[in-house]
Structure 1
Amino acid sequence: MISCGRRETVRKGPVLAPNTADTPEFFPEGARVAVLTSQPLDRLLDYKAPADGCFRGAFVEVPLGPRKVLGVIWGPGSGDFDLAKLRSVIRVLDVAPMRDEMRAFLSKAADYTLTPLSAMLRLATRAPGLSDPPSMRKILRLGSAAPDRMTDARQRVLAVMEEFGGMAFTPKELAEMAGVTPSVVKGLVKQQALIEVETPRDTAYPHLDPELPGKTLTADQEAAAGALAKAVDSGAYGTTLLKGVTGSGKTEVYLEAVAACLRKGRQALVLLPEIALTAEFLKRVEARFGATPAEWHSGATMTERRRVWRMVGQGAAQLVIGARSALFLPYRDLGLIIVDEEHDTSYKQDEGVMYNARDMAVLRAAMCSAQVVLASATPSLETWANAEAGKYKRLDLKSRFGASVLPEMRAVDMRSKALQPSTWISPTLKEAMAERLERGEQSLLFLNRRGFAPVTICRACGTQVACDNCDARMVEHRFMKRLMCHQCGATKPVPTECPSCGVEGKMAPVGPGIERLSEEAAGLFPDARIAVLSSDLFGSARALKARIEEIAAGEADIILGTQLVAKGHNFPLLTLVGVIDADLGLQGSDLRAGERTFQLMRQVAGRAGRAERPGVALMQSFQPEHPVIRAILSGDEEEFWRAEAEQRRIAGVPPYGRMAGIVLSGTDLAQVFDLGNHLARNNGPLMQAGAQLFGPAPAPIARVRGRHRVRLLIKADKGVALQDAISRWLAPVRLKGDLRLNVDIDPQNFF
């Protein structure tokens, strides 16, 4: 622990004690306190307590050099610096102090992921204006008057207000959300189509009523809901796998667990893997509890994020619907965490603080005696194995809700199909789509490739157009008329002549992307209404939500989508799913390739037949005899998990072993490899712990944004104290120049 030198003038601020059974330690004015700041420092800093003192966990503003930075009182100071020379805490912020269980959670999460504690604090304070004092502000509401003249810009503003009627907007935020100039908003205010209201900057969320009636549940749903409610009522920690086939009503079941949590006066959190899912989900929550909950994700406004952070800490937000980072909000009394689609790879953050939200949810719940529900039709092997071992409880929903039945699944053997060049829809799939069009039903074509074509090649010299900054081929996005790198986001115009040999007119797209598939579908069915769902084709989450709602209402005949369409959407008219390349995910050396292909195919197939009309899923494959493809078609999920688990157990890899990835990067390839070789030669702590080290070797994507990347992989038995061994191994390392070293505990991706 280090200290700060120069004395600082004390400014008075409020002294707030956390809502804990045991009042935390109090530090009187002038006492030595240790402060964790959100700055990239690897230690606590000593300060003097301010006038009126402060409690452990108080959020404070402290001087650091010439700046004022955010920090948290972590405990008593170290005492290794002259008290007379210490600077003082400037003020205590008027927000709920950090609870002891939150401090413990951040510390354990930092230890597990080998992340600096300051970085964990930054993750837990990602809301603007936390140091601002309480104040009033002007927000906009819908007025009673209609504008004298309706323009497209005005219509967009009013549409945003109607869609987000319960959300607070400043004039600036409303203009940005609607994509208009501030003058458009001002004009609507003058005409009283919008009205300005003075309100406290942060207000409590509407009360959610758990006593409102929910949907009528089936017998197995009722049993599952009762078991979850009983677990929540216990007030103890526990984790439950809620496994149910697609369309079995898992959401309605776990909403009853939320109701039980609200009855106990505790807070609940529902994590969703995709922002686009929130619109439909929020409607279901409002129907169940009579009001909309708090939202926490990148699509929320800065004003709303600040309000969520503060209200969660005060207990004035009963339920939060959020992305993975919602785990790090300062809950006053968290009693339940739902991880919906817990298998989804988007719960793993691969940049900055590398963590898996599913695992952190279990850790957080254990720290505050809360229940965790991991919901999925196709659980991750880690979760399945924990349930098999008895670490997690398991509840199964084996049939779909209401009249809907599971879709029939069939393979289309592409080896026997004669397709024209540059076409990918088989005659079998085409015929099935034509039948749906005649019946007024929807078809979905699934291809997990964004853009028009994954490769652009010169037919004269064979050159493939690559990114200038990355070791990756550029993908043509014909809708944007650009080539794009999916690693760094760089774009360039589609060349008319080869950048290598200079020959003109020989550049050709190779392979299908979702945009190219849409051209083929339009050619086959020129009168059909075609909708393409791909994350890169929508400028905002709001636009994507709106398009999904239109499709669900029947405003498309043929839907084409990437992985986005597999995530919980409900299209009542959809009765046919066609998977264009079911073998795509089986390529490569990823140890989770079979698991992910199985999950993705089963999830996307589950979009069909979710209402009264039965569904069919056709999977185009060049290797229909592959064990994973056979398992998908057979529907024997338990047999697949058992076989996959046995292979992992024999190999000693997760969940029956431990792994960690080390990624080194820098602009000088020789320096990066020198560091990797140095680490490989000095791996004593790893060997002593019984771990194996592989590498260094170029990463599969060896250059990103101009930085060369080298990987090392650590493999160990399940019981090895891997974090301790890695910490001792890396402790002597001193990075020079622009070299970087990132540790990824339990890696999900190996790029």
Structure 2
Amino acid sequence: MSGRLISVADVVVDSRTAGREGNFTYEAPAGAKPGQAWLVPLGARSVLAFVTQVRKVKEEDLGFPRSKLRPLGREINSLSLPAPTLALVHEVSQRTLCPLSVAMTPALPPRAQTRLTTTWQVRPGNPPRQLTLVEDEVWKTLQAGEITETKTKPLAAPLRKALQDLEAIGVASKYLDLTLPESKRRPTSWRLTIGDAEIEAFVRGPGRRKPAQSLLLLRLQGAGSTVFQDGELRSIGGVTDATLRALEQAGFLQQVGENTPTTTTSNVPNPEQAVAISAIQAAIAAHKPEGFLLYGVTGSGKTEVYLQAAAESLRQGRPVLYLVPEIALTAQVIAQLRGRFGDRVAVLHSNMTPAERLMAWRRVRAGECPVVLGARSALFAPLPDLGLIVLDEEHEPSYKQDSSPRYESRGLAAFLAQQHGCPYVLGSATPSIETFAAAQTGALTMLQLKQRARAVNLPTIEIEDLSRLYREKKVDIIGPQLAEAMQDTLDRKLQSILFLNRRAYSPFLICKECQHRFVCPHCEVALAYSQQQQRLRCHHCDYHEPKPPRCPACGGTKLGGVGVGVERVQETVQAMFPKARVERLDRDVTRRAGALEEIVTKFHSGAIDILIGTQMVAKGFDFPRVVLVGVITADLSLNIPDFRAAERTFQLMTQVAGRAGRAEHAGRVIIQAIDADHRSLKSVQAHDYEGFFEEEVECRSRLGYPPYTRLVNIVLSGPDQGVVSERALMLQQTLMARLPGSQVYPALPCPLAKLKDQYRFHILIKLPLDGDIEPIRLPAELAMSKDVRVAVDVDPMSLV
């Protein structure tokens, strides 16, 4: 009948199950609501779907025949999403220009569909017809008890058919629910039985032969008697259950019950902390979605502010979301949260088994864990009525998802705060330029901690000018200033770290007779040369080959590495200090099982004098005997073709410098650089973030980069360079017509123009801060094909 209204439900299915366009419409029964989970028919199978909206439509407006409108299926009560989580999924789709099915992926209950149980039960009444022999036997079985089926334990085909036939005649019915398996890991809770001094003694003694145990204990230093789940310990230390059992047998770990008592009380805040705590607590009480920047120098007590604000939120019966860049480096944060809030803390991390992740998701959804600690994906935890959101170390690039959906955590935290009516706090000693600019303009409320809550000795930082050494023809990998400091450190029987963020011996190998360069056959990059392994390796696709005896172009034998990697630094240092114990720590070294644990343990125990490494040595470890940090060349990060290069260099150098002088010994940092007067390095030397910020924003203002504009970077890739180039040019022309108020740059090869046999072109778009990105969505989707992939990165962290 024309004009008849039909109640329909729009649902979304995870893109991994139904593809990018996983949006479908079904007939909605009474009571269907957004956020509900349903098992819906899709072709010949049933899949997990979530209702996004329920609406009334006229039959003629369906867009397809009424006869093809299928019923919604069966609801799964225990998997529904809270309204703010569903709103967040829609927001991610709008902010990142990805399909709703892709935006839904991080919000899904982990591996839920594999845990669904179908339960068959008998219905009252007698069969309306004579049953077959098999049907009769199954019906009698149902009268004695229910029959269940799971994905891992399916019913035999004849039994399932008999059940379906009984259902068809009305004497049997089925329902679906989520079944959580009993955990096979018992017990699941552990606590340390030794203190920091005993850990030091173990690491310096017998622990040198037990590196996995030592590494975990080192990362647990300062945790006290905090209770950790076994999955958390596996994530923190990268260890197995065998290591946990070995530590238990040694008397260092103890199995405990599930209830975790609180062990610490709030500290008395200093005046600056008290002001910050009061401001955040007032916003919590007022249900005000206010954003704060907690800008505090190292050791200023930012964590105490977070904890006391969280306690206020919990007093009001409202949960807390606490985000960190990496769970593996947060044993102390877990300890502090558990010390204040006991077993009400849930830690979400990637090292959990699928069953553990699903159980944690269910506990959070049920309100059993009102404090959730996790990395960026914890934004999608099903928390109702949040009272506080914390992003610690908000400047870290890991808060941006680098695959679809490419969401940025700070913006989503602000959106969630609006949804829940709660404050959010961004904390850092070196905030991102965009965040500090927002605080300067009043978009965020600045809370500053200048006073150190605990004694912290900042290292002295010196810059060794390599350009002067080049002019004097005295240049070497280790300059005279750094070499002298290294000798002094050795004489004092203390330790040094040398940092160079470049692996291998040399970044490329060249024939010195014909200048032939060895290039990866799958990527448009040079193969790095490892002299130790006598191999060439691509650090992007991992292609590798032996170093050839002759040049394939001219047959010459004069092949040599050009440039400096950590392997060459190690060779140089060993030659300069033949009696020193020197080791290297990078991804090539840690390919060997147990190498990371072994080297870290040896260095902490004093069995290594000089540790040379890439960014792996820059964070996550506290070596009390390190008094010298040398940066081989800071120019590497400064010369990356990216507008964030100076900011990243400032943050990286500050982080590396923090490795020196972390105990009673004064620290010293020597940064070698050709551009020794660069504003980033001078600001690091002066411990002057604000001075760096002022110069950096002035530069970005002139060039039109964030925080004064918005960027969208579109990368097209495919196996045929001509096809990708042509498609990129067409997309560029379309975007120029659709975005008249924005600057659309020409489609050009990416700085890494070919990766893993995929040619890559990109189109960079600069928009006004209030510019609409939605016109980009349709052209980008139309540019996709089986031969060309299109990745849209809104507010990119990297343009490389």
TM-score of Structure 1 vs Structure 2, range by shorter chain: 0.7 to 0.9
| Bigger fraction of residues in helix | 2
Given that 2:500 and 2:631 are in contact with CA atoms closer than 8 Å, whether structure 1 keeps it comes out as yes
Structure 2 counterpart of 1:450, one-letter code: R
CA pair 629-320 structure 1, distance change in 2 beyond 3 A: same
Report the Cα distance in structure 1 between the residues aligned to 2:516 and 2:742, rounded to whole angstroms: 42
Within the alignment, does 1:726 sit opposite 2:776 as a pair? yes
Given that 1:408 and 1:615 are in contact with CA atoms closer than 8 Å, whether structure 2 keeps it comes out as yes
Report the Cα distance in structure 2 between the residues aligned to 1:487 and 1:559, rounded to whole angstroms: 25
Decide which moves more: 226-235 or 303-312. 226-235
Within the alignment, does 1:454 sit opposite 2:501 as a pair? no
Given that 1:93 and 1:131 are in contact with CA atoms closer than 8 Å, whether structure 2 keeps it comes out as no
Decide which moves more: 698-707 or 120-129. 120-129
Deviation at 1:387, TM superposition (A): 0.2
Report the Cα distance in structure 1 between the residues aligned to 2:347 and 2:598, rounded to whole angstroms: 18
Within the alignment, does 1:228 sit opposite 2:307 as a pair? no
Within the alignment, does 1:118 sit opposite 2:118 as a pair? no
Report the Cα distance in structure 2 between the residues aligned to 1:547 and 1:595, rounded to whole angstroms: 31
Structure 1 counterpart of 2:91, one-letter code: K
Deviation at 1:389, TM superposition (A): 0.3
Candidates 11, 23, 33, aligned match of 1:44: 23
CA pair 601-292 structure 1, distance change in 2 beyond 3 A: farther
Deviation at 1:391, TM superposition (A): 0.7
Given that 1:276 and 1:545 are in contact with CA atoms closer than 8 Å, whether structure 2 keeps it comes out as no
Candidates 59, 62, 80, aligned match of 2:40: 62
Within the alignment, does 1:678 sit opposite 2:730 as a pair? yes
CA pair 275-498 structure 1, distance change in 2 beyond 3 A: farther
Partner of 2:382: 330
Partner of 1:33: 9
Within the alignment, does 1:714 sit opposite 2:762 as a pair? no
Deviation at 1:425, TM superposition (A): 1.9
CA pair 435-469 structure 1, distance change in 2 beyond 3 A: same
Report the Cα distance in structure 1 between the residues aligned to 2:56 and 2:592, rounded to whole angstroms: 48
Decide which moves more: 156-165 or 626-635. 156-165
Candidates 158, 174, 179, aligned match of 1:134: 179
Decide which moves more: 311-320 or 385-394. 311-320
Given that 1:166 and 1:292 are in contact with CA atoms closer than 8 Å, whether structure 2 keeps it comes out as no
Partner of 2:240: 178
In the TM superposition, what whole-angstrom CA distance separates every residue of 1:578-600 from its partner, at most 9, and x where no partner exists? 11112222214321122221222
Report the Cα distance in structure 2 between the residues aligned to 1:274 and 1:451, rounded to whole angstroms: 26
Report the Cα distance in structure 2 between the residues aligned to 1:734 and 1:34, rounded to whole angstroms: 26
Partner of 1:623: 675
Within the alignment, does 1:283 sit opposite 2:335 as a pair? yes
Deviation at 1:411, TM superposition (A): 0.9
Structure 2 counterpart of 1:139, one-letter code: K
Given that 1:576 and 1:615 are in contact with CA atoms closer than 8 Å, whether structure 2 keeps it comes out as yes
Partner SS, residue 334 of structure 1: coil
Partner of 1:403: 455
CA pair 586-160 structure 1, distance change in 2 beyond 3 A: closer
Structure 2 counterpart of 1:105, one-letter code: L
Partner of 2:787: 738
Decide which moves more: 378-387 or 361-370. 361-370
Report the Cα distance in structure 1 between the residues aligned to 2:605 and 2:211, rounded to whole angstroms: 21
TM score, norm. by length of structure 2: 0.77
Decide which moves more: 646-655 or 278-287. 278-287
Report the Cα distance in structure 2 between the residues aligned to 1:379 and 1:542, rounded to whole angstroms: 35
In the TM superposition, what whole-angstrom CA distance separates every residue of 1:103-147 from its partner, at most 9, and x where no partner exists? 11111221111011100111222622355222442413369xxxx
Deviation at 1:546, TM superposition (A): 8.6
Candidates 732, 746, 752, aligned match of 1:695: 746
Partner SS, residue 445 of structure 1: strand
CA pair 219-609 structure 1, distance change in 2 beyond 3 A: farther
Taking the TM superposition and a 5 Å limit, the aligned residue runs for 1:190-589 are 209=262, 212-215=264-267, 217-290=269-342, 293-417=345-469, 424-476=477-529, 482-488=535-541, 490-498=542-550, 500-501=552-553, 503=555, 506-530=558-582, 532-535=584-587, 537-538=589-590, 556-567=608-619, 569-589=621-641
Deviation at 1:267, TM superposition (A): 2.5
Within the alignment, does 1:93 sit opposite 2:93 as a pair? no
Deviation at 1:505, TM superposition (A): 5.0
CA pair 108-310 structure 1, distance change in 2 beyond 3 A: same
CA pair 56-589 structure 1, distance change in 2 beyond 3 A: closer
CA pair 512-208 structure 1, distance change in 2 beyond 3 A: farther
Partner SS, residue 87 of structure 2: helix
CA pair 589-121 structure 1, distance change in 2 beyond 3 A: same
Unaligned runs of 5+ in 1: 1-29, 144-151, 198-203
Structure 1 counterpart of 2:100, one-letter code: L
Report the Cα distance in structure 2 between the residues aligned to 1:282 and 1:544, rounded to whole angstroms: 23
Given that 1:693 and 1:713 are in contact with CA atoms closer than 8 Å, whether structure 2 keeps it comes out as yes
Report the Cα distance in structure 1 between the residues aligned to 2:67 and 2:316, rounded to whole angstroms: 49
Given that 1:665 and 1:740 are in contact with CA atoms closer than 8 Å, whether structure 2 keeps it comes out as yes
Report the Cα distance in structure 1 between the residues aligned to 2:268 and 2:675, rounded to whole angstroms: 43
Decide which moves more: 511-520 or 653-662. 511-520
Report the Cα distance in structure 2 between the residues aligned to 1:673 and 1:85, rounded to whole angstroms: 42
Deviation at 1:563, TM superposition (A): 2.7
Report the Cα distance in structure 1 between the residues aligned to 2:297 and 2:476, rounded to whole angstroms: 33
Decide which moves more: 244-253 or 500-509. 500-509
Report the Cα distance in structure 2 between the residues aligned to 1:635 and 1:301, rounded to whole angstroms: 43
Bigger Rg, which one:
2
Deviation at 1:458, TM superposition (A): 2.8
Given that 1:168 and 1:304 are in contact with CA atoms closer than 8 Å, whether structure 2 keeps it comes out as no
In the TM superposition, what whole-angstrom CA distance separates every residue of 1:524-558 from its partner, at most 9, and x where no partner exists? 44554545443554469998589657756666543
Report the Cα distance in structure 1 between the residues aligned to 2:475 and 2:109, rounded to whole angstroms: 47
- Taking every aligned residue pair, what percent have the same amino acid on both sides? 35
Given that 2:430 and 2:651 are in contact with CA atoms closer than 8 Å, whether structure 1 keeps it comes out as yes
Partner of 1:9: none
Report the Cα distance in structure 1 between the residues aligned to 2:324 and 2:22, rounded to whole angstroms: 34
CA pair 501-89 structure 1, distance change in 2 beyond 3 A: same
Across the two proteins, how many residue pairs are aligned to each other? 688
Deviation at 1:71, TM superposition (A): 1.0
Given that 1:33 and 1:73 are in contact with CA atoms closer than 8 Å, whether structure 2 keeps it comes out as yes
CA pair 510-238 structure 1, distance change in 2 beyond 3 A: same
Report the Cα distance in structure 2 between the residues aligned to 1:323 and 1:104, rounded to whole angstroms: 20
Given that 1:451 and 1:476 are in contact with CA atoms closer than 8 Å, whether structure 2 keeps it comes out as yes
Report the Cα distance in structure 2 between the residues aligned to 1:303 and 1:669, rounded to whole angstroms: 44
Deviation at 1:312, TM superposition (A): 1.9
Report the Cα distance in structure 1 between the residues aligned to 2:185 and 2:589, rounded to whole angstroms: 30
In the TM superposition, what whole-angstrom CA distance separates every residue of 1:164-215 from its partner, at most 9, and x where no partner exists? 9843679x99xx96398xxx99x99xx9x9xxx9xxxxxx985674x83145
Report the Cα distance in structure 1 between the residues aligned to 2:495 and 2:338, rounded to whole angstroms: 28
Partner SS, residue 405 of structure 1: coil
Candidates 744, 747, 750, aligned match of 2:796: 747
Structure 2 counterpart of 1:392, one-letter code: L
CA pair 226-576 structure 1, distance change in 2 beyond 3 A: farther
Given that 1:497 and 1:506 are in contact with CA atoms closer than 8 Å, whether structure 2 keeps it comes out as no
Structure 2 counterpart of 1:272, one-letter code: V
CA pair 555-360 structure 1, distance change in 2 beyond 3 A: farther
Report the Cα distance in structure 1 between the residues aligned to 2:625 and 2:448, rounded to whole angstroms: 27
In the TM superposition, what whole-angstrom CA distance separates every residue of 1:624-651 from its partner, at most 9, and x where no partner exists? 1223322332333222212211222222
CA pair 126-564 structure 1, distance change in 2 beyond 3 A: farther
Report the Cα distance in structure 1 between the residues aligned to 2:267 and 2:655, rounded to whole angstroms: 24
